[in-house]
Structure 1
Amino acid sequence: MPDDLPYVDEHAVRIAAPRDVVWPVLERHGKSLGLPRGNLLAKVLGTRPEAGFEITASVPGESLDLTGSHRFSNYCLRFELADAPGGSTQLRAQTYAAFPGLTGEIYRTLVIRSRLHVIATMYVLRSVERNCRPLPLR
């Protein structure tokens, strides 16, 4: 899907864990990311799928694409994993999106230019990172 959509931005974190540890955490996040059923925002935006995202491509240990659309945008959030020094993993999130018409441009201003999108994307990346850390010993 990103081939059809303009590139928006990219954000990344380095996770102190190998890809085989990061991948299942990322996959779980990908499956659970989105709005709950019956969410008012989903109804107002007219999200498709209802949660706002669905996994449309997955290459285990390498990449995961989440795509969706609503009244103001068509979008894809692509996560890519790469080996990094010291046995760590670089996790990148690339956003691709189209914002058709005047209402799309207004939405883009509210979400992208305001940096709300950056905050949300970094939250997802940091959440994956947190969930890859070993639990403290008791």
Structure 2
Amino acid sequence: MDISALPRIDEHTTVVAADPAAVWRALCETLDRSFTRPHAARYARLVGVADRTASGPRPLTEGSAFPGFRVAAADPGRELVLIGRHHFSTYALIFRLEETGEGHTRLRAETRARFPGPAGALYRLLVISTGGHAVLTRQLLSAVRERTS
């Protein structure tokens, strides 16, 4: 998948009071826990995601997967690139970690996605245009921040 060819949807940022190594651990644990819960797995089946079960090495590294996502690249403490596809979209979620000094790390989550056809357009309307995706992404970043406390 050519991630750079996917249209940019949004980016959300938080600052975490921890070093990049601690934020990386919290990010991997939060993602794994969030997307393997029963409701996430049901949603993954409903929309027909390519990766429906958790598999591969833990902690997350290239080739690891959980419902909805496969790790395309992992540079611990710096960047985690997740990709996925389902009936209505092809997408990437890119997490970037930047040390900001004094024991803090900026964590950014960038979403890129394509929504082909009429069904994709409707899905985009329901998930992106309503703000639901933004809310879930911000909750995910908050969960990472809380996990490092």
| TM more than 0.5 | yes
2:57 maps to which residue? Answer: none
Matched residues in 2 for 1:12 and 1:49: separation?
26
Of structures 1 and 2, the larger Rg is shown by 1
The correspondence for 1:91, drawn from 99, 107, 111, is 107
Matched residues in 1 for 2:45 and 2:22: separation?
36
Deviation at 1:2, TM superposition (A): 2.0
User: Is the deviation greater in 18-27 or in 105-114?
Assistant: 18-27
Matched residues in 1 for 2:123 and 2:137: separation?
17
2:9 maps to which residue? Answer: 8
Output the amino acid matched with 1:49: D
Q: TM-score, normalised by structure 2?
A: 0.82
1:83-102 CA-partner distances (Å, limit 9, x unpaired): 11422000000000000011
What is the correspondence of 1:72-111 to structure 2 with a 5 Å cutoff? 72-111=88-127
Q: CA RMSD in A?
A: 1.7
Q: What is the DSSP-based 3-state SS (H/G/I as helix, E as strand, rest coil) of the residue aligned with 2:35?
A: coil
Q: Which runs of 5 or more residues in structure 1 are unaligned?
A: 134-138
Output the amino acid matched with 2:24: W
> Percent sequence identity over matched residues?
35
User: Is the deviation greater in 121-130 or in 31-40?
Assistant: 31-40
How many residues are matched?
A: 133
Deviation at 1:32, TM superposition (A): 3.6
Deviation at 1:21, TM superposition (A): 1.4
Matched residues in 2 for 1:35 and 1:101: separation?
29
User: Is the deviation greater in 107-116 or in 41-50?
Assistant: 41-50
Q: Which runs of 5 or more residues in structure 2 are unaligned?
A: 53-66
